[in-house]
Structures are given as structure tokens and as C-alpha cells.
Structure 1
Amino acid sequence: MAKKSSSRVALLIVLIQLLLLVDERYAQSAMNCRCVEKHRCKTEGSTDVVVLPSTITPANVQTVAGDIDLRFDENHCERVEICCEEKDITNFRLTEHVAFDRCGIRNLNGIGYRLVGDKIGVSEYGEFPWTLMVLINQQVVEISKQVYLCAASLIAPNLALTAAHCVKQKEQYFVRAGEWDTNTDKERFQTQTREVAQVIIHEKYNQLHHNNIALLKLDKPFEADENIQTICLPPPDANFNGHDCFTGAWGKDKFEEGRLQNILRRVEVPVVPHDKCQDAFRSTRLGPFFVLDKSYMCAGGEENVDVCTGDGGAPLVCPIASGNDRYFQAGIVAWGIGCGQKGIPGAYTDVTKFVAWIYDKMAALGVDPAASKYSLL
């Protein structure tokens, strides 16, 4: 027994020494590097890979970027960073000039980063460059902070499209473009935030939430970038029934007990014909006589695949047949019965019903509509 005990002690000592050696080498390696954005570290054969955990960490319900505990990887760097040796750190701009010249271009594979891991329901970085955050100022521990309210879409450099129910209060709103992961500000391209100078709610928006649409005129235009682009407005006669479309923002992952998500979500949903959607709603607590207003369209119905609380105002975008990864905005996230109930789609403001209204308001505001008009060029 004594021999066995002494051999175990000897083995334990050897293991401890090995661990100390590894830790010492790791510490020495860490001392020779510092955390920088992945795209700024250029070593032979390097690739910009962002590893997603098996479960995405939800964002704090009340806060946005800069006010949430940051996640760290094994090198104590943020997820979009890497511990890089000084000699390999570069400072460069990926693009010198980007313009708002072609709306609705989806960056299918993201911009610069390649996501690996559990990507279900998570968008690539810069995949939907027209999706915006709507923010308000809120007192948090006696400090005024900008907090996430809902979503919107960019239809002109200085004009955002959202749901009226999101912006019906007398608040000072802000709009952020280029956001992706609210847990970090170290992404490849910077975000931009603008103050809302004017809120234009549809004249016939009412307590029943019919005509649930609004425009946000910004105090100054966004500057075009790889992660900031406009979405195309559809023709008034467009029909998206049966199309598989995309939506998503930073809303809750579940109804009631869910939490806001820190990474922009990607939710793929089929467009459901108006009459079938009305029938589905009549099977719920809305009752057999419910009438779905003509200002709405519907999408979804697959169990656990849906937008939820906090996604209001987000764009529903559908592919343009001849567009090659180009998209029209078909709808605006409006309301639903719970989130992700099987056979129950969500209700979206039907943008095709309001294209003329949008262009009329653009003209009155002196906003150039060119950035939201689709062309093959």
C-alpha cells in the first residue's frame, strides 16, 4: 500500500509540474501578444473565424452595446478578437469608398468573419445591412443610457421605416446602423448612431393597430459602408405568397420568460396568404369572428421559428426573383399570438399597401427615393 501511495504522490507531483510549465509558457505567450480585432492580425494562413458557443448569451433586457458584460475566449479576448503578436498587427481599411448605389443586397456569407459553431437562428456579420436598432434614453442608476426599444430598416441614407406602435410615445429616439453583436464594439466595421429629427406616423394608424407603419427622419444621413446599406421597397402590386423570407432583430428568444438576444437573429419564415392567416388567428383567443385588417400580411407558422417581443419594427425581406441575393422589404414585424406557436403565423404590416404613402412622404421631406428603388444596374 505504501508503494502505491508514494507512486501516486510522485505521479501527482509530475502532473502539477507539467501544468505549471504549460501555464508558464501560456503566460509568456500572452505577454508577447495583445487583443486586437481578428482582421487586424495577419499571420500566414490566418482566417477570420468567430466561434459561437453552443448557447448564445442573451443580452441584458435593458441595455445595448457597451453596457453588457463581455464574453472572453481562452486568451481573455472578446469573441471577435484574437491575441496577436505586435509584429503581426496591422491597421488598414477594407474599403475606401462605399455608396448607397444598390439596395437590398444581402451579404449571404457575412463580411470578413466566418461563423462556426451553433449558428441556428443567428445572422452572419453584416448579412442584413439594412436592419437598424431604435433606441431611447433611459435612466439606469442615475445615468442616462441609450437602450434598445425595437427595430427598423434603412430605406434612404436619412430615413428609416418601422412600426408605428414602436414610436407612438413622445420620446427622443435614436437609430443605430451597422449593429450586429451588442456585447462588443470591436467588430470589423463601426456602428453609426443618429438622432431622430422627425417621427411620421401613418395618419390612419389607430388603437386597433391598423396601418401600423411609421417613418423616422434622421438628423443627418448615415454614411454608406459594407455593414450599412438600404433595403429595396417593393412594387405596389408585388405578391409574396409562398415565398420563403427572412426577418429578425434582437428580440426575445421565447414569449414572456425569454430574454433579448445580443446577436442579430435570422428567422426564415414562409409568407402565408391573407385568408389562411385569418383562419389561423380565428382558431386562437381572437375568436371565430376576428377580421384581419387588409393592412396586414402574414408569415411563419412553424413551431419555435418566429420573431418575438422586442422584434417589432424589424423588416421582413423576400428575395427578388431576378436579383441574385437581392431583396425587397415585404413587411414590418407588427404583432402575434405568443411566439412560435405551431400553425399560427405572425402579423406583419404589408409594405406593398404603403409604397405610395412612403414615396409621398419622401417627397414632402425632401428625401431622395433612389436608394430604395430596385434596378438591375
Structure 2
Amino acid sequence: MLEQMRLKVSINREHTAGSNQCGVTNVDGLYMTVKGGSLVTSFGEYPWVVAIFDVGAQFVCTGTLIAYNVVLTTASCVAAEQQLIARAGEWDLMTENEPVAHVNISVKKSIVHEKFNWESMEYNIALLILESAFDHLQYITPICLLGIDTEVFYEKCFITGWRSTRPLNRPSRNIVVKVEIAIDSGSCSLNSISTEICATANTNLPIYAKGAPLICPTDSSIYHIIGAWSTRTNGAIQFSDVRQFGPWIREKLEPDCIFI
């Protein structure tokens, strides 16, 4: 298991400034480099990843920063929650001992897709508008939405996020993982829906990362979100197809004068 891997950590506390470019990774992480297996990431390596908590400080699921004050996730993660907190700059959920402190901001408004269906998981997407924006820091940076004319390498897609944990089976470590994903329409169930992307994970380890983004790069290594982890059935992962929700996202953000 990932929590049982022996991680080698090299610390580098050099200060790093923010950037206005979306979809940029910090190769090998910031402040420290971690070695410990194919799924292991380093601190700040994927700066768009957000941990969503309830007011009782219980981890709910993974979200994705798409603007400095907007988190994208799945409706199934947040539809039943009343009050939420978005945490950026997080890496290991099991410790406070990290190179720099994470940042918590309360959610001002949760927008669940009006057609979301709990049974079919159709339209499983939600937006969280925050009380304030995160500061522009190198370890807190939004992902890009996929534009009409943007081409990405679908054979190089992956997810980033935290595995779901149970209170009685809490790991000693729960860091952001990166899992390579093979998009495969053949893995779809017979009752799959048009707003889904079907895929399989390139790992034998048990991974269940609710709300985690499905990310694909361009040829210039700018990363775009194309899906959000919806559910897993018969070994296949079903992602909400974020590409189809671009107009809906922009429509819902416009009343708050947020333009992406």
C-alpha cells in the first residue's frame, strides 16, 4: 500500500513566487523532492488539487481549482453537505508538518448541476465559489479548462488527488497521488451515459479518489481538466465529462463576475 512505501525526502526551502498561468506543474515539487513509488507526488507538484472538508474537519473529497476563488468537483461529493471548506496547498492529509502551511477558505456558494441524478450519476458536477480568493502562490495555481481549439494528448492523462479514507482504517500517510489513466470507451457499462468518460487506472493498488480531476497535457506541457471522478463500477472508472460542461460553468460563474 502507498502508506507503507518508504519515502525519501530532500528538503529545499527556497522561496517560490506565484504565476498567472493556469495548468502549470512544479516538476519534482517545491521545497522538497519525494521518492517512493510510481504513485507518489512531491509537495506542490500539482498545485490545482484542493481538499474539501466539512465544518467538522472531516475530509469529504478532492476538488480542482479552476480559478483562484472557484473549485470544481462532483455533485455527489457535495450535494448533501451544508457547509464546506476548501483547502489549497495541502499534500499529506495526515500531518501538519509540511514545508509551508496550507490555506483554508470557506465556501460561500455551492452550485450543483440542476439535472444531477443520484441514481444514474448523470450531470455529476458542482462548483464551489469561495468567500475569498487564494493568493497567487506557486503551490496554489488553477488548472486550465479545455478550449475549443486546444489539443491535448489523451494517451498521457492522469488523475491527481487523495484516496478516500474510512475513520476505522486511517492510513499513517495520505498524500496526493498521481495515477495514469487509460481512456477506454470499451470499459463503459451498458447503461453508461453521454456525460461520462470511461477509463481504467494503470495500477493494481486500490484507488478511489472521489472528485479527483482527470488531467491531460498539451504538447507544451500545459495541463487541462477533462473529467472529474464520478464513480467506479466493475473495475472501470467513470468521470464526469468536464469538456461538455464548459458553457454551464461559465454561465453559473458570470453572476458572481467570475470569468474563465
Q: TM-score range by the shorter chain?
A: 0.7 to 0.9
Q: Is the 8 A contact 2:180 2:201 kept in 1?
A: no
- Shift in Å at residue 314 of structure 1? 1.0
- Determine which of 122, 143, 162 is the counterpart of 1:250: 162
Q: Is the 8 A contact 1:332 1:350 kept in 2?
A: yes
Larger CA Rg, structure 1 vs 2: 1
Identity %: 29
User: Is 2:76 aligned against 1:165?
Assistant: yes
CA offsets 1:124-154 (integer angstroms, 9 cap, x no match)? 211110000000023xxxxxxx111101000
For 1:120 and 1:268, the matched residues in 2 are separated by 9
User: Is 2:85 aligned against 1:174?
Assistant: yes
Q: How many residues align?
A: 257
Q: Is the 8 A contact 1:297 1:350 kept in 2?
A: yes
Aligned position for 1:94:
15
Q: Is the 8 A contact 1:240 1:330 kept in 2?
A: no
Name the TM-score, length of structure 2 as normaliser. 0.87
Amino acid aligned to 1:219: E
Give secondary structure in 2 for the equivalent of 1:266: strand
For 1:241 and 1:259, the matched residues in 2 are separated by 35
User: Is 2:249 aligned against 1:365?
Assistant: no
**Higher helix proportion, which one?**
1
Q: Is the 8 A contact 2:227 2:241 kept in 1?
A: yes
For 1:174 and 1:243, the matched residues in 2 are separated by 34
Name the TM-score, length of structure 1 as normaliser. 0.62
For 1:349 and 1:166, the matched residues in 2 are separated by 12
- Shift in Å at residue 237 of structure 1? 7.0
User: Is 2:233 aligned against 1:337?
Assistant: yes
Structure 1 stretches of at least 4 aligned residues deviating more than 3 Å after TM superposition: 79-82, 236-242, 257-261
For 2:163 and 2:154, the matched residues in 1 are separated by 25
In structure 1, the gaps of 5 or more residues are: 1-53, 59-72, 74-78, 83-91, 139-145, 282-289, 370-377
Give secondary structure in 1 for the equivalent of 2:225: strand
For 2:196 and 2:222, the matched residues in 1 are separated by 23
For 1:114 and 1:301, the matched residues in 2 are separated by 24
Amino acid aligned to 1:98: G
Aligned position for 1:185:
96
> What value does the CA root-mean-square deviation take over the aligned residues?
3.0
Q: 1:98 to 1:334 in 2, by over 3 A?
A: same
- Determine which of 110, 131, 142 is the counterpart of 1:230: 142
Q: Is the 8 A contact 1:110 1:126 kept in 2?
A: yes
Q: 1:178 to 1:224 in 2, by over 3 A?
A: same
Q: 1:56 to 1:165 in 2, by over 3 A?
A: same
